[in-house]
Structure 1
Amino acid sequence: MNPDKIIADYGQFSSWLNTLEGMEETLWLKPITEGKWSISEIIAHIMNWDHHLLTEVLPAVRNEKGIEFPDFDSFNKKASEYATSGISKSKLLEETRDSREQLIKELNEMPIEILTKHLPTNGVTHCPHTGIPYSLIYIVKEFTDHDHHHIRQITQFLNENNKD
């Protein structure tokens, strides 16, 4: 697991956001499938997690405390509410880009020892799916995979709704 590559991959999301700048407002606000979020809600969801990493996780890791994540459902609901609060597409994209770029900057400034230090996550020491010990860089890799999942969803939705 190469920390520099993982952080660089995680940072690619900021550039990808630029591809959403010119999309139609109706698609921005339309659920990607019935019962699912819109693109705006997905972007707010990712930004909300970046903000949590910046304000809660990084300080905890720097202080050698365990990583804690809130209840996913209520946390994600806040992101959905923010996306539907009337915030413009350009403002949400700008805020999301700024959060990710700040997060990447801080990750790049962290010593390798801190990035790779084994720390429990919500009280669990190893990922139950892989058996790998949790560390900040492991969590960043998980978040990168999470980004890619949502990018695939959005790309598929846009391809299916392309009116050109």
Structure 2
Amino acid sequence: MQHSKGKIVACYSESIQHANKYASFSKELLQQPIAQGKWSIVEIIGHLIAWDEFVINKRVPFLINGKSLPASPSVEKINKHAAQTALNKPPHEVLEEFTSIRSRLIEQIEAIREDCWVKEFKINDSLLTWTSYFLGLIQHDEHHFKQCADFLNKK
């Protein structure tokens, strides 16, 4: 399992590098929707912050201790609030917050005991392991970072 844990940490570390690249772009560009009806880069990063906080506070501690998970929040409600909050902050602040919270998540992942990585748990109707859970989150990140890259490549 160490290989999977290492891969997950590496992917999350890379996501910080992706976000740090956005610091060189203007506020206007970072707050511009990436496509019609889509979020801006700042809103995308803001929603990643919200979900990292959720994982840090409402998933990892409960799963490590074998406790029942709190109910999942409304995805739409969390995303909408996170995007709006991010738009109301200077982009550099959002990027710094992402780096900080993502670094905390990496620290938590690194602290997960090896025996935890093979334990299965359920979220709603899905049977998962730590590896499958985090790889799913990473796929979500990669989707959004690709959207951002595609948008910036057109500029």
Q: State whether TM-score is above 0.5.
A: yes
- In structure 1, the residue matched to 2:7 is 5
What's the CA shift string for 1:23-70, capped at 9, x where partnerless? 021111111111110111000011111010111111111121355532
Conserved? CA contact 1:10–1:140, under 8 Å: no
Q: Does 1:151 align with 2:145?
A: yes
Q: Does 1:69 align with 2:111?
A: no
User: Structure 1 counterpart of 2:114, which letter?
Assistant: I
Which stretch of structure 1 is more off in the superposition, 57-66 or 17-26? Answer: 57-66
Aligned to 1:120, what secondary structure does the other structure show? strand
Deviation at 1:11, TM superposition (A): 2.3
Q: Show structure 2 runs of 5+ residues with no match.
A: none
- In structure 2, the residue matched to 1:80 is 83
Aligned to 1:21, what secondary structure does the other structure show? helix
Conserved? CA contact 1:41–1:79, under 8 Å: yes
Deviation at 1:135, TM superposition (A): 1.9
Conserved? CA contact 1:10–1:141, under 8 Å: no
What's the TM-score once normalised by structure 2's chain length? Answer: 0.91
Conserved? CA contact 1:30–1:39, under 8 Å: yes
What is the aligned length?
A: 152
User: Structure 1 counterpart of 2:48, which letter?
Assistant: I
Aligned to 2:59, what secondary structure does the other structure show? helix
What's the CA shift string for 1:11-31, capped at 9, x where partnerless? 211111111011021111111
Whose helix fraction is larger, Structure 1's or Structure 2's? 2
**Identical pairs, percent:** 29
Deviation at 1:138, TM superposition (A): 1.4
Q: Show structure 1 runs of 5+ residues with no match.
A: 127-133
Conserved? CA contact 1:66–1:120, under 8 Å: no
> What RMSD, in angstroms, separates the aligned Cα atoms of the two structures?
1.5
CA distance in 2, matches of 1:144, 1:50: 11
CA distance in 2, matches of 1:152, 1:66: 34
CA distance in 2, matches of 1:14, 1:116: 27
Deviation at 1:116, TM superposition (A): 2.9
CA distance in 1, matches of 2:12, 2:24: 23
User: Structure 1 counterpart of 2:75, which letter?
Assistant: F
Deviation at 1:137, TM superposition (A): 2.3
- In structure 2, the residue matched to 1:139 is 133
Alignment of 1:8-157 (within 5 A): 8-67=10-69, 68-85=71-88, 87-122=89-124, 124-126=125-127, 134-157=128-151
Aligned to 2:33, what secondary structure does the other structure show? coil
Deviation at 1:10, TM superposition (A): 2.3
Q: Does 1:160 align with 2:151?
A: no
